[in-house]
Amino acid sequence: MSKIRYAIAGSAGRMGRTLIEAVLDDEHAELSAALEHASSPALGKDAGESIGRTSGIKIGADVDAALAVSDCLIDFTRPEGTLLHLEACCRHRVSLVIGTTGFATEGKAAIEAAAHDIPVVFAPNMAVGVNAVFRLLDVAARILNEGYDVEVIEAHHRHKVDAPSGTALRMGEVVAAALGRTLDECAVYGREGHTGERPATQIGFSTIRGGDIVGDHTVLFAGVGERIEITHKSASRVSYAQGALRAGRFMHGKPNGLFDMQDVLGLR
């Protein structure tokens, strides 16, 4: 298999630096471009400088130039930037791995439309372990389908801008679907004041933001006399980067299509 040429969006950020290191360490990958916004102080610097490496690739802001020499763009930035990159990927017929979360309905629709032209892996969490948890939650919810209250608790670092996390929402969607519901009809995002007794069909979400927490997620099934907790804790962003590269390899050679990590891991 020839090396896949990766462009990395948000290359000077925490996740961008982790992705660059993962690409440099992967024998099947080649760093072809590193992108940042036009006012970034990182422009012109070697993409590996912040991790003590020399990549030979300068950080730039020209998306079209970057995609002209790339096979795949990995984007863990913000919705507005990702949607601009999506358009560019369509122009250049470059595959796209989207780890960005917090998209509105219109943004998700744009991603679905673009997938008619290019291959896209769009997932709220790229970590293999998290995607194993999604499968476990489906099984648990089908077994614990009566007499158990479901709560989703997530924690992230102080810099995260969306809440609940995309991973927490996906966990809620998996449980709701297994119970024959939709998340829109049963989700409650935080509680305050006199809330009354908890309805049995409710799925509650609690959000914690603080410090440098990479990402903790727990789904609690609370019954009478027992509790079942399914938890995933991320100690670093490396697992997200490794999953993103796996997604890039999965798409290589595909003409188009919208996929998620369940497809990448062969869980469908």
pLDDT in tens, 226-255: 999 999 999 999 999 999 999 999 999 999
pLDDT at 89: 98
CA distance 92 to 137: 38
Whether 156 is catalytic is yes
Q: Which of 156, 157, 194, 232 is catalytic?
A: 156
Element (H, E) at 263: helix 261-264
Residue-wise pLDDT tens digits, 89-138: 999 999 999 999 889 999 999 999 999 999 999 998 999 999 999 999 99
pLDDT at 2: 85
Q: Residue 221: which region, alpha, beta or left (left: phi > 0; alpha: psi -120 to 50)?
A: beta
CA distance 91 to 214: 34
- For residues 162-182, average pLDDT: 96
- For residues 38-46, average pLDDT: 97
**Pairing of the two strands 257-259 and 203-209:** unpaired
pLDDT at 267: 85
pLDDT at 138: 97
Average pLDDT along the chain: 96
Q: Where are the domains of the chain?
A: 4-122+237-264, 128-234
**Pick among 3.40.50.150, 3.30.360.10, 3.40.50.300, 3.40.50.10860: CATH of 128-234:** 3.30.360.10
Q: Band the pLDDT of 141: cuts 50, 70, 90.
A: very high
CA distances from 108 to 104, 117, 123 (A): 6, 15, 11
Whether 28 is catalytic is no
CA distance 31 to 189: 40
Same fold, 4-122+237-264 and 128-234: no
Flag whether pLDDT at 1 surpasses 80: no
Q: Which of 3, 45, 160, 252 is catalytic?
A: 160
For 146-211, the three-class secondary structure string (H helix, E strand, C coil) is CCCEEEEEEEECCCCCCCCCHHHHHHHHHHHHHCCCCHHHHEEECCCCCCCCCCCCCEEEEEEECC
pLDDT at 184: 95
- For residues 197-209, average pLDDT: 97
Alpha helix ranges (H) inside 11-145: 14-25, 63-67, 79-92, 105-114, 128-143
Is residue 67 within 8 Å of 54, Cβ to Cβ?
no
The answer regarding whether domain 4-122+237-264 maps to CATH 3.40.50.720 reads: yes
